[in-house]
Amino acid sequence: KAGVTQTPRYLIKTRGQQVTLSCSPISGHRSVSWYQQTPGQGLQFLFEYFSETQRNKGNFPGRFSGRQFSNSRSEMNVSTLELGDSALYLCASSFGQPFYGYTFGSGTRLTVV
């Protein structure tokens, strides 16, 4: 069965621009969560969506936003990009309840120049 698909794999943007990343969960999974990974901060939770509703949010500025569609696909958006937003962005999906664990995608590598 297909895994979690993240697109694009790589992205280069200029400071001040905005970017949208996409995540398609495993079929049947209703929860999608997003994480930012940087060498200095490690893996940090951004937000989680379940059945199109944001259930949980991490400690990131309002420039980071997300949404989930009725087919469970999710997008995250970062506006007014800063150099410090350069990171690997990872998406994870899970079934919901009962809980069988998280499955992660391969990530989107964002570089802000």
- Site residues for other proteins, window 68-107 (CB under 8 A)? 88, 90, 92, 94-97, 99-107
- Site residues for other proteins, window 6-45 (CB under 8 A)? 6, 31, 33, 35, 42-45
What gap in Å lies between CA 46 and CA 84, rounded to an integer? 15
What gap in Å lies between CA 76 and CA 65, rounded to an integer? 6
Query: Which residue, 81 or 105, is less far from other proteins as judged by CB?
Result: 105
Work out how close the CB of 21 gets to other proteins at its nearest, in angstroms, rounded to a whole number.
13
* CA distances from residue 78 to 9, 46, 101 in whole angstroms, order as listed: 16, 11, 27
Query: Which residue, 79 or 95, is less far from other proteins as judged by CB?
Result: 95
What gap in Å lies between CA 11 and CA 17, rounded to an integer? 12
Q: Which of 23, 24, 25, 50 binds other proteins (CB under 8 A)?
A: 50
Query: Which residue, 22 or 44, is less far from other proteins as judged by CB?
Result: 44
What gap in Å lies between CA 68 and CA 22, rounded to an integer? 10
What gap in Å lies between CA 68 and CA 103, rounded to an integer? 17
Residues within the interface to other proteins (CB under 8 A): 4, 6, 31, 33, 35, 42-45, 48, 50, 55-56, 58, 88, 90, 92, 94-97, 99-107, 109
